[in-house]
Structure 1
């Protein structure tokens, strides 16, 4: 097994093991704490799951940097060297409301670029994974949808807009519903990027700068499934980009038109 394959394998193992820790706490009435605001929540399950993910990574790659949402891990992706980006429960608001749409996300990064990823959805039993060539759901190769008519496509406005930015949320919704067939919101960026990679959604968009733990794994999945991910200007998306526009590629120009409308408010 070469190094890239080893990282892909470790991402999947770590995501599964961390996700199982979180799953055992799901729907058990676990205590909920808030961090930066009323909807920025965290539980002991987040901390326990991240600890397990980090343990599994360090078993194989003890010297790599780790970027993680919880605890005192790094909060930004280094531009050089090997690193891992971890979100123990992406969709904690769903988790605490007993909604089974959340993921444990792990991405392997080399010199700032993802090379492997795994998003495990424990409550649904699905493992989305990508190596350096392809993307998979439960071991079967997946690809983005082939829809090219925007009026048949479903888009997800993702990430969250605080109460002082609800005009941006409204503008995003308006820009999408006037161009596309429908919109969905699931409450987890990693889940919706996984669904885009699997062809269940046709596009994902936010004008916010996404945290790396919310986005890097899913972006790699989309790319390896044949999709396109850019910033709002159409440039290749990076972990530090402002805004994220992801699509099956066929409708990307229309999604960028929507992005420009959002930016004009």
Structure 2
């Protein structure tokens, strides 16, 4: 089994160095391209940062598989053994337009099981980390246990298009909560859940968007599922429902009612 303490030290070092590199590159003109649509952006910083992180991972864990967001050469078809999920800039639109509210994420899995995750809030210099036998923390200060409250008692993060079209009753779910937040970054949204600011999150996510959070929050009591209640498959993208238990149960009931009516 991988040494979690040593892994945490390694990832923390990589993320801190990565943060400094990203901040330095932000002072230069960005090269921005689109991927699947005009709002799905990639920059030279995404690519450069991924190359840096992959190099660090390969040097420390040469047998690891790596699933990176940028580049078809960094795709894995198996979760056997040690697998790192890397999102070099999560919330690229925020990065380009606001220079704020974006994250760097690393999730680590062994034989398909989440063992460790880290989310770097770049502009606030905060690393949210946690995993199997490794208590959730912010910059190595342990975070309090998450409250298990009803959906009506908490704020929820939602996907914009899903909310606009009330897909899977997402707009209704938002109305049933204390309020809706759309941050534009899965990592930043999950970081807010870890710190007790949000009660849940619903969005269409790629594996690298959710891998770190599943390792951090899944071991802290947050339930992750597909809308039909099935477990996540980190080899394929899909809609993710993540929430504390009471809220998750309410969300599942509302989604099921919407699907059958």
What's the TM-score, normalizing by structure 2? 0.88
Give, in whole Å, the separation in 1 of the partners of 2:181 and 2:166: 17
Closer, same or farther: CA 166–262 of 1 in aligned 2, 3 Å: farther
Aligned to 2:154: 153
Closer, same or farther: CA 46–264 of 1 in aligned 2, 3 Å: farther
Q: Deviations over 1:212-241 (max 9, x none)?
A: 111100121112323222222223334247
- Structure 1 residue runs of 5 or longer lacking an equivalent are none
Closer, same or farther: CA 77–200 of 1 in aligned 2, 3 Å: farther
C-alpha contact 2:146 2:220 (8 A) present in aligned 1: no
Where 2:165 maps in the other structure, the secondary structure is: helix
C-alpha contact 1:143 1:225 (8 A) present in aligned 2: no
CA positional deviation for 1:16 = 2.5
Q: Deviations over 1:123-157 (max 9, x none)?
A: 11111111322211111112453152322211111
RMSD: 2.5
- Match among 223, 226, 231 for residue 226 of structure 2: 231
- Match among 178, 185, 208 for residue 182 of structure 2: 185
C-alpha contact 2:114 2:131 (8 A) present in aligned 1: no
| Alignment length (residue pairs) | 259
Give, in whole Å, the separation in 1 of the partners of 2:15 and 2:260: 39
- Structure 2 residue runs of 5 or longer lacking an equivalent are none
Aligned to 2:212: 217
CA positional deviation for 1:256 = 1.4
Aligned to 1:246: 242
Give, in whole Å, the separation in 1 of the partners of 2:16 and 2:77: 22
| Aligned structure 1 segments of 4 or more residues deviating by more than 4 angstroms | 168-171, 261-265
C-alpha contact 1:202 1:248 (8 A) present in aligned 2: yes
Closer, same or farther: CA 20–71 of 1 in aligned 2, 3 Å: farther
C-alpha contact 2:108 2:215 (8 A) present in aligned 1: no
CA positional deviation for 1:110 = 0.8
Aligned to 1:12: 12
Where 2:128 maps in the other structure, the secondary structure is: strand
Closer, same or farther: CA 136–73 of 1 in aligned 2, 3 Å: farther
C-alpha contact 2:168 2:255 (8 A) present in aligned 1: no
Give, in whole Å, the separation in 1 of the partners of 2:215 and 2:239: 16
Higher mean alpha-carbon deviation, 229-238 vs 84-93, is at 229-238
Where 1:151 maps in the other structure, the secondary structure is: helix
Closer, same or farther: CA 262–105 of 1 in aligned 2, 3 Å: farther
What's the TM-score, normalizing by structure 1? 0.87
Give, in whole Å, the separation in 2 of the partners of 1:87 and 1:2: 21
Give, in whole Å, the separation in 1 of the partners of 2:165 and 2:30: 34
Aligned to 2:58: 58
Alignment pair present for 1:176 and 2:173: yes
CA positional deviation for 1:166 = 5.6
